[in-house]
């Protein structure tokens, strides 16, 4: 295996020539603005960036290691991404030459990511982060450079600005939707699913009746009950929590039941030989064994709970909440606020998921799926 | 297959069906009890307004036959479904089959797009190491985002661009669909036995040929498991995508208009239809799986 990766690394050394497409760039205009087309020689910033990138490509052979090469090339890519942003900041419109330069640099980024993918340790984690950052920067450059209407897709910078100007509103929405509805509904739904699963585990008749019902529920668009819950429980958090409870109940129950069956015969026999009763076996053996399944259910439900709360808010809320904000601001064409709200939702979802994944790592470090291979 | 409890197969079936039947009966009973309980205040009002003395039996009878109940009874929903399905031609706006067809159309279009996107992403991730390291984490992260929250916006944006009708809803379904397919396919495409991979190598089969002849067939069981999850998700996507279109057509539109006008029976009928649609589609995928997946891979 080790031999294979070194072989792969050696095979990687010669670089695909595609990034050199940027050599065509200097003959094309770098930008337009004010007095017509701008040549590269008229824009020292752009010229410096291009020369820096080309220098990085030329010098890469001198790099002592793959990681050093990645760093060197990355500097070249960063220069290529900085130039359009600087020119846009001066009110210039990027021209064909700049686009060719950017395309070449993006291909170069592919090489960097490839080098990082072969590395190990923290460098491996840098790959996805760079990929995401590049996507956001490209989004910014493309939407502004090509003049994409903000109604269609605002640049990330505008969304960030909306974040700042609407911070108070967004925080209120977050409090209403996440801190009030989601947290309560999630705890109730997961708690109920867990409790019923423990009960069903004791009473097999119940389990045999509930499991098919749970499988059916996973195929049904449960979120459709949102209007009914809003009608029953009113506009405030209770109706959102009710939707979340219904959505999260079955995934949690099914996962807990599956987890409780995870303990092996031989382990159960051992507990028995210790004279441990039902509760002691449950607490000391079967629940720890079920932890990976429990976390699986909790992770699935963290996203479901957010979806449930936001969709339920489309059917009626007090005048605060993320679903309310999205639906009203879409109608008023304030797309930057909508995107800011979505960013909050995305960050919340990722944070919940990430926190659960971390907790899982902490609590179930003994599990085979986390052992070092 | 026989239901005669004396034979072994029948007994097994009986033993499996009994708890389910008991649970179904319990749900039905709870539903009726809930209807009585939830509708009671409204029904009591109506009876008092009518003036005459009323007993508890009158109250129960009234709660089960309200025009706009808080919780309609199963028989009310069944009657409404029956009326809607048989009382109008299939193309009529009041026939639920018409709305189901609209929803199924966008769900299936989105599903097809999601399958193409999901399989393409999985193939890229399996074949190109760079993509595996840098794209896969984002594919996973994309699912921690409450996608459905963006649904109304996608519909409005695409509507501004002149895309109305089926496409915006299909895009939402696609977004919900592609993830389980990508994850399942990555697992499936990697599930080819190393021995058989070596064999393909000794045949000097190229990447493309190995992919088509070995990896793809090996991935089918995984693909179908994902497809079942994905098709249910695509129905959810289509229904939520119909919410902001203002109640023109589709099951989601029926849900929304029902909630606007307090037509609870209509909401419940739409819910039952969407459940039937989704379960039916999952069953169809199961049938396709049975027809397509044979041989040793199927038992894995």
| A186/A246 Cα distance (integer angstroms) | 10
**Partner-chain contact B274 A118, CB within 8 Å:** no
- Find the CB nearest B135 among A131, A311, A352: A131
Q: What is the pTM of this model?
A: 0.77
Residues of A in contact with B268 (CB under 8 A): 228
Say if residue A3's pLDDT is above 60: no
pLDDT value, residue A25: 76
Q: Which residue is listed with tokens 């459709």?
A: A224
Q: Sign (positive/negative) of CA torsion A102, A108, A114, A115?
A: negative
Q: B251-260 and A226-233 are packed helices; what angle lies between their axes, rounded to 10 degrees?
A: 10
**Partner-chain contact B278 A314, CB within 8 Å:** no
Interface of A with B in 37-96 (CB under 8 A): none
pLDDT value, residue B268: 85
Query: Nearest Cα to A32, choosing from A53, A19, A46, A52?
Result: A46
Are the C-beta atoms of residues B96 and B269 closer than 8 Å to each other? yes
| B252/B245 Cα distance (integer angstroms) | 9
Say if residue B297's pLDDT is above 70: no
- Find the CB nearest B258 among A216, A227, A322: A227
Residue range of the domain that includes B273: 96-299
pLDDT value, residue A107: 85
Inform me whether the C-beta atom of residue B129 falls under 8 Å from chain A C-beta atoms. yes
Residue B66 is assigned to a structural domain of this protein? no
**Partner-chain contact B134 A113, CB within 8 Å:** yes
| A347/A357 Cα distance (integer angstroms) | 15
| B74/B24 Cα distance (integer angstroms) | 12
Q: What is the share, in percent, of chain B residues with pLDDT greater than 70?
A: 90
Residues of B in contact with A350 (CB under 8 A): 141, 144-145
Q: CA geometry: angle at B283 spanning B282 and B284, to 5°?
A: 90
**Partner-chain contact A206 B19, CB within 8 Å:** yes
> Using one digit for the tens of pLDDT, what is the confidence trace for B233-292?
888 888 888 876 655 778 888 887 887 777 788 888 888 888 889 889 988 988 888 888
pLDDT value, residue B62: 75
**Partner-chain contact A330 B156, CB within 8 Å:** yes
Q: B56-63 and B8-50 are packed helices; what angle lies between their axes, rounded to 10 degrees?
A: 110
pLDDT value, residue B1: 43
Tokens of A150: 């903000």
How far is the first Cα of chain A from the last one, in angstroms, to the nearest whole number? 13
Inform me whether the C-beta atom of residue A234 falls under 8 Å from chain B C-beta atoms. no
Q: How many CA atoms lie within 13 A of B19 on its CB side?
A: 15
| B245/A334 Cα distance (integer angstroms) | 18
Residue B52 is assigned to a structural domain of this protein? no
ipTM over 0.95: no
Compare all CA atoms of chain A with the CA of B132 and give the residue at the minimum distance: A117
CA distances from A108 to A95, A97, A103, A111, A171 (A): 20, 17, 9, 5, 40
Alpha helices in chain A (DSSP H): 2-12, 44-59, 66-89, 96-118, 122-145, 156-165, 167-174, 183-202, 204-219, 226-233, 237-260, 265-273, 278-281, 287-314, 322-331, 335-363
pLDDT value, residue A28: 79
pLDDT band, very low/low/confident/very high, at B299 (cuts 50, 70, 90): very low
Closest approach of B57 to chain A, Cα-based (Å): 24
pLDDT band, very low/low/confident/very high, at A229 (cuts 50, 70, 90): confident
Residues of B in contact with A303 (CB under 8 A): 143-146
The overall average pLDDT reported for chain A is 82
* Contact partners, residue A206, CB within 8 Å, separation at least 6: A199, A200, B19, B23
pLDDT value, residue A369: 63
Tokens of A145: 């450079």
pLDDT value, residue B216: 84
pLDDT value, residue B41: 80
Are the C-beta atoms of residues B10 and B4 closer than 8 Å to each other? yes
pLDDT value, residue B144: 66
> Left, alpha or beta for B48 (phi > 0: left; psi -120 to 50: alpha)?
alpha
Residue B149 is assigned to a structural domain of this protein? yes
- Can you tell me the mean pLDDT for B189-208? 85
CATH number of residue B231's parent domain: 1.10.3720.10
- Find the CB nearest A131 among B134, B244, B268: B134
pLDDT value, residue B205: 85
Closest approach of A229 to chain B, Cα-based (Å): 10
Are the C-beta atoms of residues A93 and A31 closer than 8 Å to each other? yes
* Best residue in B15, B16, B17, B19 for a mutation probing chain A (most A CBs within 10 Å): B19
Residues of A in contact with B157 (CB under 8 A): 151-153, 335
pLDDT value, residue A39: 77
Residues forming a β-bridge with A37:
A32
Residue B227 is assigned to a structural domain of this protein? yes
**Partner-chain contact A130 B134, CB within 8 Å:** yes
Closest approach of B158 to chain A, Cα-based (Å): 8
Are the C-beta atoms of residues A84 and A143 closer than 8 Å to each other? no
Q: Which residue has the higher pLDDT, B62 or A145?
A: A145
Are the C-beta atoms of residues A289 and A262 closer than 8 Å to each other? yes
Residues of A in contact with B156 (CB under 8 A): 330
Exposed e or buried b per residue across B210-229, where buried means at least 16 C-beta atoms within 10 angstroms of its C-beta: bbeebbbbbbbbbbbbbbbb
pLDDT value, residue A10: 47
Are the C-beta atoms of residues A300 and B183 closer than 8 Å to each other? no
Residue B24 is assigned to a structural domain of this protein? no
Compare all CA atoms of chain B with the CA of A134 and give the residue at the minimum distance: B134
Ordered structural domains, chain A, with CATH: 2-148 (no CATH), 162-370 (1.10.3720.10)
Residue B270 is assigned to a structural domain of this protein? yes
pLDDT band, very low/low/confident/very high, at B7 (cuts 50, 70, 90): low
Inform me whether the C-beta atom of residue A218 falls under 8 Å from chain B C-beta atoms. yes
> Using one digit for the tens of pLDDT, what is the confidence trace for B108-123?
999 999 999 999 988 8
Inform me whether the C-beta atom of residue A353 falls under 8 Å from chain B C-beta atoms. yes
Tokens of B68: 């706009």
- Find the CB nearest B271 among A127, A224, A326: A224
Residues of A in contact with B270 (CB under 8 A): 224
Phi, psi at B261, each rounded to 5°: -100, 10
Inform me whether the C-beta atom of residue A122 falls under 8 Å from chain B C-beta atoms. no
Q: Which residue has the higher pLDDT, B129 or A59?
A: A59
**Partner-chain contact A303 B143, CB within 8 Å:** yes
> Using one digit for the tens of pLDDT, what is the confidence trace for A250-298?
889 888 988 888 888 888 899 999 998 889 988 888 898 888 888 888 9
Q: Sign (positive/negative) of CA torsion A40, A44, A50, A51?
A: positive
Q: What is the share, in percent, of chain A residues with pLDDT greater than 70?
A: 93
Say if residue A104's pLDDT is above 60: yes
Inform me whether the C-beta atom of residue B17 falls under 8 Å from chain A C-beta atoms. no
Residues of B in contact with A4 (CB under 8 A): none
Are the C-beta atoms of residues A342 and A256 closer than 8 Å to each other? no
Q: CA geometry: angle at B51 spanning B48 and B54, to 5°?
A: 65
> Using one digit for the tens of pLDDT, what is the confidence trace for B140-166?
777 766 666 677 677 777 777 777 777
pLDDT band, very low/low/confident/very high, at B300 (cuts 50, 70, 90): very low
Q: Sign (positive/negative) of CA torsion A69, A72, A73, A74?
A: positive
Burial of A369 (0-12, 13-18, 19+ CB in 10 A): exposed
Three-class DSSP category at A16 = coil
Residue B229 is assigned to a structural domain of this protein? yes
Are the C-beta atoms of residues A150 and A158 closer than 8 Å to each other? yes
Q: A237-260 and A226-233 are packed helices; what angle lies between their axes, rounded to 10 degrees?
A: 120
Say if residue A173's pLDDT is above 80: yes
Say if residue A162's pLDDT is above 60: yes
| A118/A107 Cα distance (integer angstroms) | 17
pLDDT value, residue A34: 66
- Find the CB nearest B132 among A117, A205, A323: A117
Residues of A in contact with B171 (CB under 8 A): none
| A254/A162 Cα distance (integer angstroms) | 41
Say if residue A155's pLDDT is above 70: yes
Q: What is the share, in percent, of chain A residues with pLDDT greater than 90?
A: 7
Inform me whether the C-beta atom of residue A323 falls under 8 Å from chain B C-beta atoms. yes
Closest approach of B86 to chain A, Cα-based (Å): 24
Tokens of B7: 């034979």
* Best residue in B22, B70, B129, B146 for a mutation probing chain A (most A CBs within 10 Å): B146
pLDDT band, very low/low/confident/very high, at A226 (cuts 50, 70, 90): confident
- Can you tell me the mean pLDDT for A105-112? 84
Rounded (10°) CA dihedral A180, A182, A185, A187: -100
CA distances from A267 to A104, A141, A259, A373 (A): 59, 59, 14, 25
Number of domains in chain B: 1
> Using one digit for the tens of pLDDT, what is the confidence trace for A188-197?
999 999 999 9
Inform me whether the C-beta atom of residue B282 falls under 8 Å from chain A C-beta atoms. yes
Residue B288 is assigned to a structural domain of this protein? yes
pLDDT band, very low/low/confident/very high, at B10 (cuts 50, 70, 90): low
Q: Which residue is listed with tokens 């792969």?
A: A8
Q: Which residue is listed with tokens 């020689």?
A: A41
Residues of B in contact with A152 (CB under 8 A): 157, 160-161
- Can you tell me the mean pLDDT for A57-64? 81
**Partner-chain contact A310 B70, CB within 8 Å:** no
- Can you tell me the mean pLDDT for A330-358? 84
Phi, psi at A166, each rounded to 5°: -110, 25
Inform me whether the C-beta atom of residue A199 falls under 8 Å from chain B C-beta atoms. no
Are the C-beta atoms of residues A215 and B232 closer than 8 Å to each other? no
Burial of A111 (0-12, 13-18, 19+ CB in 10 A): buried
Q: Which residue is listed with tokens 């393909």?
A: B200
Query: Nearest Cα to B73, choosing from B23, B37, B19, B20?
Result: B37
């Amino acid at each position: 295996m080790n031999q294979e990766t070194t072989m792969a690394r050696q095979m990687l050394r010669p670089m695909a020539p595609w990034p050199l497409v940027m050599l065509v760039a200097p003959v094309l205009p770098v930008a337009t603005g004010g007095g017509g087309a701008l040549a590269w020689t008229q824009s020292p910033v752009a010229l410096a960036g291009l020369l820096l990138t080309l220098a990085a490509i030329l010098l890469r052979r001198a790099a002592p290691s793959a990681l050093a090469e990645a760093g060197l090339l990355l500097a070249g890519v960063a220069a290529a991404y900085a130039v359009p942003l600087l020119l846009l900041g001066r009110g210039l419109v990027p021209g064909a030459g700049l686009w060719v330069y950017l395309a070449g640099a993006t291909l170069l980024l592919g090489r960097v990511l490839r080098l990082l993918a072969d590395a190990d340790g923290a460098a491996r984690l840098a790959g996805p982060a760079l990929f995401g950052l590049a996507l956001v920067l490209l989004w910014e450059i493309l939407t502004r450079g090509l003049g994409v209407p903000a109604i269609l897709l605002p640049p990330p910078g505008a969304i960030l600005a909306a974040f700042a100007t609407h911070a108070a509103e967004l925080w209120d929405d977050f409090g209403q939707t996440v801190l009030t509805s989601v947290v309560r509904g999630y705890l109730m739904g997961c708690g109920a699913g867990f409790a019923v699963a423990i009960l069903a585990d004791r009473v097999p008749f119940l389990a045999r009746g509930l499991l098919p019902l749970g499988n059916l529920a996973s195929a049904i668009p449960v979120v459709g009950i949102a209007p009914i819950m809003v009608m029953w429980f009113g506009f405030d958090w209770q109706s959102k929590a009710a939707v979340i409870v219904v959505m999260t109940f079955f995934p949690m129950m099914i996962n807990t039941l599956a987890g409780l069956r995870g303990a092996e015969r031989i382990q159960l026999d051992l507990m028995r030989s210790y004279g441990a009763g039902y509760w002691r076996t449950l607490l000391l053996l079967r629940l720890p064994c079920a932890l990976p399944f429990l976390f699986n259910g909790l992770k699935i439900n963290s996203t479901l709970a957010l979806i449930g709360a936001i969709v339920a808010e489309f059917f009626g809320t007090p005048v605060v909440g993320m679903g309310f904000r999205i639906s009203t601001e879409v109608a008023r064409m304030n797309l930057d606020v909508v995107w800011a709200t979505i960013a909050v939702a995305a960050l919340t979802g990722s944070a919940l998921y990430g926190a659960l994944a971390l907790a899982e790592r902490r609590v179930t470090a003994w599990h085979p799926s986390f052992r070092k291979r | 297959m026989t239901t005669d409890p004396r034979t072994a197969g029948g007994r097994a079936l009986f033993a499996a069906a009994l708890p389910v039947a008991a649970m179904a009966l319990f749900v039905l009973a709870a539903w009726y009890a809930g209807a009585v309980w939830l509708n009671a205040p409204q029904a009591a009002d109506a009876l008092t307004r009518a003036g005459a003395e009323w007993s508890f039996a009158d109250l129960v009878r009234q709660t089960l036959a309200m025009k706009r109940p808080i919780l309609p009874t199963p028989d009310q929903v069944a009657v409404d479904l029956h009326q809607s399905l048989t009382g109008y031609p299939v193309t009529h706006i009041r026939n639920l089959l018409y709305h189901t067809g609209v929803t199924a159309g966008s769900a299936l279009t989105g599903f097809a797009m999601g399958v193409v996107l999901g399989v393409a992403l999985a193939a890229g991730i399996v074949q190109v190491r760079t993509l595996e390291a840098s794209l896969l984490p984002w594919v996973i992260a994309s699912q921690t985002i409450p996608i459905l929250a963006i649904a109304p916006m996608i519909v409005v944006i695409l509507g501004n661009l002149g895309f109305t009708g089926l496409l915006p809803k299909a895009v939402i379904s696609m977004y919900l669909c592609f993830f389980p397919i990508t994850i399942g396919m990555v697992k499936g495409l990697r599930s080819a036995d190393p021995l058989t991979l070596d064999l393909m190598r000794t045949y000097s089969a190229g990447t493309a040929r190995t992919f088509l002849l070995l990896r793809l067939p090996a991935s089918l069981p995984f693909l179908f498991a994902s497809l079942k999850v994905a098709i249910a998700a695509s129905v959810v996507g289509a229904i939520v995508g119909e919410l902001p279109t203002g109640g023109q057509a589709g099951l989601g539109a029926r849900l929304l208009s029902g909630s606007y006008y307090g037509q609870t029976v209509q909401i419940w009928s739409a819910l039952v239809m969407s459940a039937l649609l989704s379960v039916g589609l999952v069953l169809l995928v199961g049938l396709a799986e049975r027809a397509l997946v044979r041989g040793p891979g199927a038992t894995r």
